[in-house]
Amino acid sequence: MKNYFTISEFAKLRNININSLRYYEKLGLLKPAIIDEHNGYRYYSTEQVSILNKIILCIQLGIPLKEMVQFLDEDGNLQSQQLLEKGRIIAHKRIQEMQNNLDYIEYSLKNIEENKSYLERKGVYERYCEERKVMITEFYTDIDIFEPKKFLAEISDIYKYAQKKGMFPILPAGQIMQVDETGQMRFCFFLEILNGDSSEERILTIPAGEYSCVQVELEPTLDFLKVIEDSWEEKGTKTIIVNNVMLEKYSFETRPSELQRVDAVGFMW
């Protein structure tokens, strides 16, 4: 049997447990090339390393081994091409997920660094904001929508919708408010989308530009209308974005946010 691997030698080739090989055999995925009829010792051929590699690939991709059985033909041979084609689909999906995560990390670090320049600013100040694509909820005039359960339900719906459309939504959520001359308010909630599709009807583009801003602490007692009126006294309809402020250290006790006034001429919705 010198041209064959013992079960322990074969397991060491990919640094796996002997019991794993026994399990693969039980499933019919990788049967030993030879089983000694006298002592039951199992031996594997060099050619079977390729099958072992594909099994480990499936494990790494998250394909349940019991599903892998469906790629065996009537003679117990592994349909490698079909298996690899499925693996390719899963691998591409994993790569996209990892890219999304990397984009989010880069986005967050950039925001944290930029926000350091504006921490604890008092009164109205100016800052430049890049273009943002956001997915919005319906617009409301009923102030009761600020109830936490309703808010979370709205955000959950658009988060799931964005994911279903293959987009990458970012939490926490923000709000867009429009206050007219009489103090009447209509508003919606939004999630920023890193890979937003402008053709999607629920995607809104917030233009790049200089924004007039005010910092607030979000809390149930916050009077948005008073803050807006005190900060921007001129008459006319005002459009305000309530944006979360990412900080170097996260605190459960504070919710710092920034009210960003939008030029209504360049922001149609």
pLDDT for the residue numbered 15: 92
pLDDT for the residue numbered 151: 81
pLDDT for the residue numbered 67: 84
What's the token pair of residue 105?
Answer: 């990390």
Instruction: Name the band, by pLDDT with cuts 50, 70 and 90, for residue 82.
Output: confident
Burial of 18 (0-12, 13-18, 19+ CB in 10 A): middle
Decide: helix, strand or coil at residue 174: strand
What is the dihedral sign for C-alpha 90, 91, 94, 99?
Answer: negative
Mean pLDDT in residue range 156-161: 92
Instruction: Name the band, by pLDDT with cuts 50, 70 and 90, for residue 79.
Output: confident
pLDDT for the residue numbered 251: 64
- Name the CA dihedral angle for 114, 115, 117, 123, rounded to a multiple of 10 degrees: 140
Q: Which residue has the higher pLDDT, 149 or 51?
A: 51
pLDDT for the residue numbered 144: 63
Q: Looking at the whole model, is its pTM more than 0.85?
A: no
Instruction: Name the band, by pLDDT with cuts 50, 70 and 90, for residue 48.
Output: very high
Q: In the chain, what percentage of residues exceed pLDDT 90?
A: 39
Decide: helix, strand or coil at residue 190: strand
Weakest mean pLDDT among 14-23, 38-47, 60-69, 185-194: 60-69
Mean pLDDT in residue range 149-163: 88
pLDDT for the residue numbered 83: 84
Q: Are 135 and 191 in contact (CB under 8 A)?
A: yes
pLDDT for the residue numbered 199: 80
